[in-house]
Amino acid sequence: MSDSPPRRSPEAGSPLSSTRLSWGVLLGLAVASRIAYHAAGVRFFAGSLDAYIQYVDTDLLRTRLLESLFYLHDQPPAFNLFLGVVLKLFPAGHDTVFHAAFLVGGLALAAAMFTLLLRLHLPRWLALGLALLASSNPTTVLYENWLLYEHPVAVLLCLSLLFLHRFADHGRRLDGLLFFSFGALVCFTRGTFHVVWLGGVLIATLVLLPARRRAALLCAAGPLALVLALYLKNLVLFGSFGTGAVYAKLNFAQMTTFRLPMKVRRERVAKSELSPLALTPYLHATTTPIHKRYVRRTRSTGIPILDRTVRYRGGMSLHSLALLEIADVYLRDARSVHRRDPRIYWSEVRQNLREYTLPACETLMLHCCVGSKKKGASPPSLQPYFAPLCGPKEWRRANPMLGGLFVVLIGFGAVAFLGSWWAGARTEAVTFAFIGLTILWVTVPGILLSHGDQNRYRTEVGPLFWALGSLLIWAAYRHAMSLFRRIRRMLLRHP
């Protein structure tokens, strides 16, 4: 079966005035929606900069940026690089710059989604409306106003999908290079996107686009090599291939050890079945004196990001060498609990499935307080920043219908992939393969290996769900209109 021949882009078929008008309407309404959200009380939240353990301490970002990025072992470096560059270039107005960058990301999402839907043969009016909904709905705007990596990852995945479609359609190497570069940047931004995901995307491209194999290999070589270089650096320095190993171990402990009642944990610690760390929540793993008895191999290196066990504003440091050893102790305890009663873990998995169907504003990181910039002050909640986006309380609960919608969309994508592949429409087939592979990559490990916030992770593939939903709406519309015309002909034939 050969590749489908290059086709005329759907954007090119309309008069220039119509194209300019539609782009003007899209960007104008996207900007107007942000103004309306601001008037309703939505504000950009940058307090996470000093609070979240994923981020390097801001003093190190300002003074030892490159050194700190090089020695990161559990987080990929791209987002911390972005934070550090902004802090260095704009020491006084960095919050405004962060906000501006995220707003540009929101406009890029609208433009990429609109272009993608046109390329997927939706009519201009429908593509315009759905692109606006995808990029300007309350969930998207919430994450656009939160200094966290979910929104940038969603934008990068949408751009990746767009350039994959362009590469599959026309075979231009620039499109292929941009596709794999955006994919590699996702790996450099979010630890859950492993090189295995990027390799799987490459394999799918090689299998489904045989005429583009040489071009795909050439385009993927550089981005893939950069990701592998990062992983090999971590393997040589820290003995871990990739990123996120520490966080995965701590999450497994949270799903097993810390589901046991405190009384049970104390009894097992007394019997030496669990370590004393089983009594210390993992977010305090390096902030209490007890952790020092488990740090045997680690010595002072003179590198602050590796030596600090406590962040300079308080709280555990995710980036210390000590945590590498401590995480292994948490993992041993978790395995012990899991062997004794695996039902605890599977109960957490069922809870994670429920969390996946929660609205995206119902996340642990939104409802928990974050550290204040002023020591000793009571930590502020994020809720006042985003209250207008969350809706009434009765909306903010797990909804089986929402879960059913995700199942329908994934099922539709699978059927569309098989239909496209069988019909020889290789461009559409590889597009659906990328969507399905990426959604499953985020969803399955997020449910099996992470404690909570599955609905937050879901927002990273939100644009991919929107693409599937848009195609489903268009297919339903066409079938409904076809059925209507048939019924109308029958009625006219037999009055």
Is 488 contained in some domain?
no
Higher-confidence residue of 16 and 170: namely 170
| Same structural domain, 22 and 154 | yes
| Same structural domain, 301 and 443 | no
Tokens of 30: 């996207």
Report the first-to-last Cα separation within the chain, whole angstroms: 48
Confidence of residue 483 (pLDDT cuts 50, 70, 90): confident
Confidence of residue 390 (pLDDT cuts 50, 70, 90): low
Span 243-247, average pLDDT: 86
| DSSP H helices in 173-244 | 173-189, 195-208, 213-238
Boundary of a domain, candidates 334, 358, 383: 383
Is 55 contained in some domain?
no
| Same structural domain, 339 and 452 | no
pLDDT at 301: 84
| Same structural domain, 444 and 329 | no
Check pLDDT > 50 for residue 366: yes
Q: Are 461 and 154 in contact (CB under 8 A)?
A: yes
Handedness of CA 488, 489, 491, 495 (dihedral sign): positive
| Same structural domain, 398 and 444 | yes
Q: Are 175 and 166 in contact (CB under 8 A)?
A: yes
Is 78 contained in some domain?
no
Is 172 contained in some domain?
yes
- What confidence tens digit (pLDDT) does each residue in 79-102 have? 999 999 999 999 989 999 999 999
Handedness of CA 244, 246, 247, 248 (dihedral sign): positive
Q: Are 241 and 235 in contact (CB under 8 A)?
A: yes
Diameter of the chain measured on Cα atoms: 91
Q: How far apart are CA 140 and CA 123, in angstroms?
A: 23
| Same structural domain, 230 and 257 | no
| Same structural domain, 20 and 139 | yes
| Same structural domain, 308 and 392 | no
Burial readout 323-350 (b: 16 or more C-beta within 10 A, e: otherwise): bbebbebbbbbbebbbeeeeebbeebee
Is 464 contained in some domain?
yes
Q: Are 42 and 388 in contact (CB under 8 A)?
A: yes
Q: Are 316 and 283 in contact (CB under 8 A)?
A: yes
| Same structural domain, 204 and 178 | yes
CB atoms within 10 A of CB 48: 18
Confidence of residue 12 (pLDDT cuts 50, 70, 90): very low
Span 101-115, average pLDDT: 96
Boundary of a domain, candidates 351, 383, 415: 383
Boundary of a domain, candidates 324, 352, 383: 383
Is 81 contained in some domain?
no
Q: How far apart are CA 170 and CA 411, in angstroms?
A: 28
pLDDT at 381: 43
Q: How far apart are CA 385 and CA 453, in angstroms?
A: 19
| Same structural domain, 237 and 255 | no
| Same structural domain, 34 and 159 | yes
Is 346 contained in some domain?
yes
Check pLDDT > 90 for residue 129: yes
Task: Give the domain extent around 343.
Answer: 245-383
Work out how many domains the chain is built from and give that number.
2
| Same structural domain, 406 and 448 | yes
Is 70 contained in some domain?
no
